[in-house]
A and B are shown apart, each in its own frame.
Chain A
Amino acid sequence: DAGVTQSPTHLIKTRGQHVTLRCSPISGHKSVSWYQQVLGQGPQFIFQYYEKEERGRGNFPDRFSARQFPNYSSELNVNALLLGDSALYLCASSLAGQNYGYTFGSGTRLTVV
Chain B
Amino acid sequence: GENVEQHPSTLSVQEGDSAVIKCTYSDSASNYFPWYKQELGKGPQLIIDIRSNVGEKKDQRIAVTLNKTAKHFSLHITETQPEDSAVYFCAAKMGSARQLTFGSGTQLTVLP
Please indicate whether A and B come from the same complex rather than being unrelated chains: yes
Of B13-21, B58-66, B69-77, B95-103, the one with at least 4 CB within 8 A of chain A: B95-103
Q: Which residues of A contact B101 (CB under 8 A)?
A: 45
- Known A100-B51, A100-B93: A56·B99 in contact at CB below 8 Å: yes
B98 and A33 within 8 A (CB)? yes
Q: How large is the interface on B (under 10, 10 to 19, 20 to 34, 35 or more residues)?
A: 20 to 34
Q: Which residues of B contact A104 (CB under 8 A)?
A: 36, 43-46
Q: How large is the interface on A (under 10, 10 to 19, 20 to 34, 35 or more residues)?
A: 20 to 34
B49 and A41 within 8 A (CB)? no
Which residues of B are at the interface with A, using a C-beta cutoff of 8 A? 4, 6, 32, 34, 36, 41-46, 49, 51, 89, 91, 93, 95-105
- List 5 A-B pairs, minimum CB-CB distance, nearest first: A56-B98, A42-B102, A45-B99, A104-B43, A48-B98
